[in-house]
Amino acid sequence: MRLPRRPPDGHLLALDLVGALLIAAVYAGFARMSGSGAQPAFTGPAWAGVLVAATVGLPVAFRRRWPVPAATAALAGAVVATLLDITHEPFIAVGLTLYLVALAEPPRRSVPLLAAALAISAAAVLTGEAVVTPAETWRGAAGVAVIVWLVAGGGWAAGFAVRMRRAGEADRAARRTERAIVDERLRIARELHDIVSHSLSLIAVKAGVAGHVAQHRPEEALEALSVIERTSRAAMTEMRRTLGVLRADTADTADTTHAADAPLGPAPGIDDLPLLAEQAQRAGVTVDMTVRLPDGGLPAGLALAVHRIVQESLTNVVKHAAPARCRVAVEADPREVRIDVTDDGGRGGGRGFHGGHGLVGMRERVTMYGGTFNAGPRPEGGFAVSARLPQDATRRTA
């Protein structure tokens, strides 16, 4: 997997440049050192020593932009320095460049390069230390090669570990983004369902009434058409407002005309519950509503959840039981908000359990607040919806 390459920070490039110059200067100093019994001296011209030192050190300055060429150049310089008796340190520049190779390149490219670097460096150390100018026994040269392997392989391993950590972070971020998108889709679906379902249920009931009494009781048909008109206009207004908010959240700065034209306003809450009861009564459902809240009311998000639960519950009564009697009770204390909606089942005295999107949406809303939700037929007939939403002080993670 190729990770998106991060643009290097200026201070990191500056540190690399300082490190490259320092390594080159150290190698230039090695080229001028006199020999000893343990380390033969470089006997070539001074310019050759400076050139080898630059080949070893300067690639470190470019390792973030071109990691593979930088590692190749540093390895070549270190090998030449070893064969010319300049090297007095275990391939530090190679380890630094291999770190960026493992960090920036996928394993299918970085692993072969690591293997080649280990093989070439070991061959160079064994040849230089034990063959060209023997300063070590074969056992001693092998020990030096192991140290070089530890430095070069350690640099690669550190880079690979950082790469895996970043890949894990990117995967978790992608999962969080995907989850946020799914949650937002569910939220939009719940809002649109609550708006459309409630209004269309009322419209459908009134349209049926108008069609049934149009010939014999035209005044009732006109009243039903008036309810349909008011309900449809209210639904269009709320739909336009909801879409306007969504558009405002996603529109870029170059296209905000439609978002600005949307009729925005406060989200529905507890104060709008009587309007829900009035709309249900127009559809033939007699609503007895009781609302008891502490001073100061409820937070806006919690009030919206209560409104939507009551709205969907009344919508189900209108769709499945009208004409019927319904009782709505909303009570709150410092610990939780209690919502109970019951109906008598209408003329039939009962109705089946309907597990549609409305009940799913209510359950999702309650779960989002860490509450409990129950819905089902009543033994004495009718249907009951019960929800408990913890207040902020006692809210738990669902």
Q: What is the predicted pLDDT for the residue at 10?
A: 78
The number of residues in the chain equals 398
Indicate if the pLDDT at residue 41 is higher than 70.
no
pLDDT of 349 strictly over 80: no
In a domain, 224, yes or no: no
Instruction: Give domain status of residue 294, yes or no.
Output: yes
Concatenating the DSSP letter of every residue in 18-70 gives: HHHHHHHHHHHHHHHPPP-SSSPPP-S-HHHHHHHHHHHHGGGGGTTTSHHHH
Confidence check: pLDDT of 56 > 80:
yes
258, 250 in Cβ contact below 8 A?
Answer: no
The answer on 165 and 307 residing in a single domain is: no
d(CA 144, CA 122): 9
Res. 392 pLDDT band, cuts 50 70 90 = low
In the predicted model, is pLDDT for residue 245 greater than 80? no
Position with higher pLDDT, 117 vs 29? 117
Distance, CA of 136 to CA of 123 (rounded, Å): 14
- Tell which residue, 247, 248, 300, 243, has the closest CA to residue 270: 300
Task: Please indicate, yes or no, whether residues 163 and 293 belong to a single structural domain of this protein.
Answer: no
The encoded tokens of residue 187 equal: 């939220």
Structural domain includes residue 3: no
3-state class of 328 per DSSP?
strand
pLDDT tens for each residue of 370-386: 899 999 998 888 899 99
Sequence-ordered list of residues with C-beta below 8 angstroms from that of 159, at least 6 positions apart, any chain: 98, 99, 100, 101, 102, 103, 104, 110
Inter-CA distances, 29 with 51, 74, 81, 88, Å? 12, 17, 12, 10
Q: Tell me whether residue 278 is in a domain.
A: yes
Q: When comparing pLDDT for 356 and 130, which is higher?
A: 130
The distance of Cα 334 from the centroid of its chain, to the nearest Å, equals 33
- Residue 178 burial by CB count (10 A; 0-12/13-18/19+): exposed, middle or buried? exposed
Are residues 290 and 152 part of one domain?
no
Q: What is the pLDDT of residues 288-301, one digit of tens each?
A: 999 998 877 888 88
Is residue 349 assigned to a domain? yes
Per the structure, the complete domain to which residue 338 belongs is given by 269-398
* Percentages of the chain per state (helix, strand, coil), in multiples of 5: 65, 10, 25
Looking at residue 330, its pLDDT comes to: 94
End of a domain among 114, 147, 175?
A: 175
Name the pLDDT band for 174 (thresholds 50, 70, 90).
confident
Range list of H helices, 214-321? 218-250, 257-261, 273-282, 300-320
Tokens of 5: 């390459």
pLDDT at 4 over 70: no
Of 115, 146, 175, which residue is a domain's last?
175
Distance CA 392, CA 396 (A): 9
pLDDT at 259: 43
Is residue 208 predicted with pLDDT exceeding 80? Answer: no
Which is nearest to 354 in space by CA: 394, 302, 313, 300?
A: 313
Q: In terms of pTM, does the model score above 0.85?
A: no
Cα 109-5-93 angle, rounded to 5 deg: 60
Cα dihedral sign for 60, 61, 65, 69? Answer: negative
17 shares a domain with 144:
yes
- 195-197-199-202 Cα dihedral, nearest 10 degrees: -160
What pLDDT, on the 0 to 100 scale, is given for residue 289? 93
164 and 20 in one domain?
A: yes
Q: Please report the pLDDT score of residue 40 as a whole number.
A: 67
pLDDT of residue 397: 41
Residues 170 and 21 in one domain: yes
Q: Are residues 286 and 166 in the same domain?
A: no
List residues bridging with 208 in a β-sheet: none
Mean pLDDT, range 122-131, rounded to an integer: 81
Contact 350, 392 (CB under 8 A): no
Statement to judge: residues 129 and 14 lie in one domain? yes
Within-domain flag for 156: yes
47: number of Cβ within 10 Å? 9
167 and 283 share a domain?
no
Distances (CA, A) of 238 to 154, 300, 311: 63, 17, 14
The mean of the pLDDT values for the chain is: 80
Please give the pLDDT value at position 114. Answer: 92
Whether 52 and 165 share a structural domain: yes
| pLDDT of 257 | 45
CA atoms within 13 A on the CB side of 164: 7
Domain count, the chain: 2
pLDDT band at 260 (very low <50, low <70, confident <90, very high): very low
Residue with the larger pLDDT of the pair 150 and 353: 150
The answer to whether 201 and 283 have CB atoms below 8 angstroms apart is yes
Domain identity same for 141 and 17:
yes
User: What pLDDT, on a 0 to 100 scale, did the predictor assign at position 256?
Assistant: 43
CATH at residue 317 = 3.30.565.10
Domain boundary among 175, 209, 242: 175
- Look at 142-151, 178-187, 258-267 and tell me which has the smallest mean pLDDT: 258-267
Q: Is 248 a member of any domain?
A: no
* Rounded Cα distance, 330 and 348, in Å: 27
Q: Is residue 235 part of a domain?
A: no
Question: Do residue 15 and residue 134 come from a single domain?
Answer: yes
Q: Quick one: pLDDT band at residue 210, thresholds 50, 70, 90? A: confident
